[in-house]
Amino acid sequence: MAAETPVVDTRFHTGAVETHCAYCALQCGMTLTVEGDHSSVEVTPRDFPTNRGGLCQKGWTAAELLQSPRRLTAPLMRDSRGEALREVSWDTALDAVADRIRAVQTTHGDDAVAVFGGGGLTNEKAYQLGKFARVALRTSNIDYNGRYCMSSAAAASNRAFGIDRGLPFPLPDLAQTGAVLLMGGNVAETMPPFMQYLNAVRDAGGSVIVADPRRTATAEQATLHLQPLPGTDLALALGLLHIAVADGHVDRDYITARTTGFDDVWRVATQWWPERAERVTGVPVAAQRATVRALAEGRAGRGAVILTARGAEQHSKGTDTVTALINLGLALGLPGRPHSGYGCITGQGNGQGGREHGQKADQLPGYRKIDDPAAREHVARVWGVDPDALPGPGRSAYELIESLGTDGGPRMLLVHGSNLVVSSPRGGRVAERLAALDLLVVCDLFLSETAALADIVLPVTQWAEEDGTMTNLEGRVIRRRAAVPPPAGVRTELEVMADLAARLGRPGGFSTDPRTVFEELRRASAGGVADYSGITWERIEAEDGVFWPCPSVDAPGQARLFTDGTFPTPDGRARFVAVDHRAAGEDIDDDHPIYLTTGRILQQYQSGAQTRHVEALRSTAAEPYLEIHPDLAAWHGLRDGDRVRIVSRRGEALAKARLTASIRSDTVFMPFHWGGEQAVNRVTNAALDPTSRMPEFKVCAVRLQRVDNQGSLPATEPSGTVIAGQA
């Protein structure tokens, strides 16, 4: 009998497809070479401005996600709590979701249904998800995991500059500057192609200063490494500003002409003489002075840039820490100068675009505030609804989780593109709150730890199976292209939202076509801070992406901000904001005498929900480790490779000891890419920044216990849940 001829889906490309990586906000350009039957996909890097032909291990192996045998290909549902998930039809699953939405909202009100989104969703999906929550569900309870990523930098940038865009200039500009201060970022592991720009600064004789409690791969390549005590970045920033003023490095003309509020800031910084900053942070006075001198010399030459990342931002005072660093940049006269300024290194693939168009609890498309009457009027007109029908601000991410299943809190949660159990602080508590729900619905590619807890799981498309746009760390809007068809039985999240809206009797305005959704997004964002109205798919393809703001099709995208001497504030001036150092949410004591900090490693990404399914990555980083100084290890009787239990006031996690002198002797480090007993976020602190509502991931107090039964750690499979009918 002759073999059947494969059926090729002509909606998808064959040959070379230009697109972007599945992972971080660098959004490296790549070409996918697709065989005629879509059975084989090969990744080749492109000479795109952000990566210039480079890729990291995750990018090179991204195509393996497309052929993973672990992909979900049918909806899953439980008959009751405690029963195994079983495969059901899409109609059965969606009917059940819609029926429960109606029942829950009838009994408990519209806000009894909540939505949790993700920073990896395309702009189209993020936009439609915000609209779906507020128009189809009529709930105020929507937030997303980007609250854990860039929210502190966003809040600080907004109050200083009147705008929040990760980098205020194209990334290649960074290579032209003369000095860079990177606070709390390890780009050599988290986004390796970024390093070419820092290395270019160093190789041209400039200064690259990295502040991190660990001597990371990035710090190894810097010209100067500052090693502050976890939780003291704000004190360090205040000490640097004191030196800048006392040593005569501030730009008085810039301060007078382009800013307000300097005197209030100086009244605080005058108390942070460098010796006091050294006592609090552990950073020597000589290193502080060298840092300020390098920035001042850079400004006088090619330029100077201050960058922050999660190490400085994921604190209960992260907004104030970033504010203090912006204050330093303004005092030196950096923002708006060539190859100079402040920037935030965005983490998630669409961390920038994901918060601009309505996933965030307090925002509408175009980076508009949801409690602004003019913003509500504009967006409601685009959506064809009464402005009064739009809900107001909802709860921030962790506060939303804490409210689940409580009196007056949501009874039902829809999760899109997020693995809450692994990525949220106080992970054990998160699992408890999810279990208290009447219904948990998760859209995902794989059975993640969060999906494994769900009552209904809906299988959805991933990066190379869908068209759309993303916004990278520069504010550059780029095109994601479908290269291969999804597995049979998988739907796009746009289709899921449209189907649910129709079942709820609110079918209008929920297109399943990403280009149609983007055209509506353009109209909804018009006139907002993040104005996409002049960006079209054709322009993106012709121009290697288009920067926002871009208010008309005739206007160029604004690649460089503040170059005209003004800022998008009411008076056109940047604002100094006075902040002072305060202690972390918790400090060490006799029971928990060691500081813990967390982060990412080269081979894994975020909660590991994707990368733990890639064999080439899993085989080289199959389990977490605890980075510990040899002196601290000796005190605990630990040897390299010993199993260690990390215990905080909230929970515990397991890892293997990795002895290294690259970390402070009072601090341990553990990556957060694993679930179960290996999930370090079972240990971390949920103390929230009062402005950004960012949890304090980067510092908490722990104790260490050697585990007697040595050997392999527990299995690292993303799910331990059995699916009925499957082995």
| Kind of pairing between the strands at 29-34 and 412-416 | unpaired
Predicted pLDDT at 714: 53
Question: For residues 185 and 701, what is the distance between their CA atoms, to the nearest angstrom?
Answer: 21
Question: For residues 99 and 83, what is the distance between their CA atoms, to the nearest angstrom?
Answer: 20
Which tokens go with 205?
């004789």
Is residue 1 scored above 70 in pLDDT?
Answer: no
Is residue 106 scored above 90 in pLDDT?
Answer: yes
Asked if the bond preceding 549 is cis, omega within 30° of 0, the reply is yes
Predicted pLDDT at 14: 62
Question: For residues 548 and 546, what is the distance between their CA atoms, to the nearest angstrom?
Answer: 7
Predicted pLDDT at 727: 28
Question: For residues 40 and 445, what is the distance between their CA atoms, to the nearest angstrom?
Answer: 19
Rounded to 5°, the CA angle 456-459-464 comes to 160
Average pLDDT over residues 644-673: 97
Is residue 483 scored above 60 in pLDDT?
Answer: yes
Predicted pLDDT at 11: 53
Is residue 7 scored above 60 in pLDDT?
Answer: no
- List helix spans (H) across 247-284: 252-258, 262-269, 274-281
pTM of structure: 0.94
Question: For residues 389 and 371, what is the distance between their CA atoms, to the nearest angstrom?
Answer: 13
Average pLDDT over residues 374-379: 98
- Measuring CA to CA, which residue among 232, 224, 184 is closest to residue 201? 224
Residue 214 CB neighbours (<10 A) = 23
Rounded to 5°, the CA angle 234-236-239 comes to 110
Question: For residues 504 and 509, what is the distance between their CA atoms, to the nearest angstrom?
Answer: 13
| Kind of pairing between the strands at 643-647 and 652-659 | antiparallel
Q: Residue 725: which pLDDT band, with cuts at 50, 70 and 90?
A: very low
Q: Residue 511: which pLDDT band, with cuts at 50, 70 and 90?
A: very high
**Strands in 650-711 per DSSP E:** 652-659, 667-671, 685-688, 695-696, 700-706
33-47, 189-203, 312-326: least confident range? 33-47
Average pLDDT over residues 696-716: 80
Is residue 721 scored above 60 in pLDDT?
Answer: no
- The percentage of residues in the chain with a pLDDT greater than 70, rounded to a whole number, is 95
Average pLDDT over residues 318-346: 97
Predicted pLDDT at 691: 97
Sketch out the chain's domains with CATH numbers.
88-149+356-547 (3.40.50.740), 151-345 (3.40.228.10), 594-706 (2.40.40.20)
**10: Cβ contacts below 8 Å, ≥ 6 apart:** none
- What sign for the dihedral angle of Cα 360, 137, 391, 422? negative
Is residue 5 scored above 90 in pLDDT?
Answer: no
Question: For residues 156 and 577, what is the distance between their CA atoms, to the nearest angstrom?
Answer: 9
First to last CA, the chain: 31
- Measuring CA to CA, which residue among 406, 416, 555, 532 is closest to residue 470? 532
Q: What are the CA-CA distances from residue 116 to residues 147, 402, 489 (Å)? A: 11, 13, 23
Is residue 526 scored above 50 in pLDDT?
Answer: yes
Q: Residue 710: which pLDDT band, with cuts at 50, 70 and 90?
A: low
Rounded to 5°, the CA angle 650-656-662 comes to 95
Query: What count of residues does the chain have?
Result: 727
Predicted pLDDT at 718: 52
**31: Cβ contacts below 8 Å, ≥ 6 apart:** 16, 17, 18, 19, 43, 44, 45, 46
Is residue 196 scored above 70 in pLDDT?
Answer: yes
Do the beta carbons of residue 575 and residue 260 sit within 8 Å? yes
31-40, 269-278, 421-430: least confident range? 31-40
Which tokens go with 483?
């290269």
| Amino acid, res. 154 | A
CA torsion 272-277-281-283 (nearest 10°) is 140
The b-or-e profile of 29-45 (16+ CB within 10 A means b, else e) is bbbbebeeebeebebeb
Do the beta carbons of residue 347 and residue 190 sit within 8 Å? yes
Average pLDDT over residues 523-551: 97
| Amino acid, res. 467 | D
Beta bridge pairs of residue 477: 471, 546
Predicted pLDDT at 12: 56
Write out pLDDT tens, residues 258-287: 999 999 999 999 999 999 999 999 999 999
Average pLDDT over residues 246-259: 98
| Amino acid, res. 29 | G
Predicted pLDDT at 257: 98
Q: Phi/psi at 585 (nearest 5 deg)?
A: -60, -30
Q: What is the mean pLDDT of the chain?
A: 94
50-54, 226-230, 709-713: least confident range? 709-713
Predicted pLDDT at 13: 56
- Measuring CA to CA, which residue among 549, 484, 520, 417 is closest to residue 149? 417
Percent helix, strand, coil in the chain, to 5, is 35, 20, 45
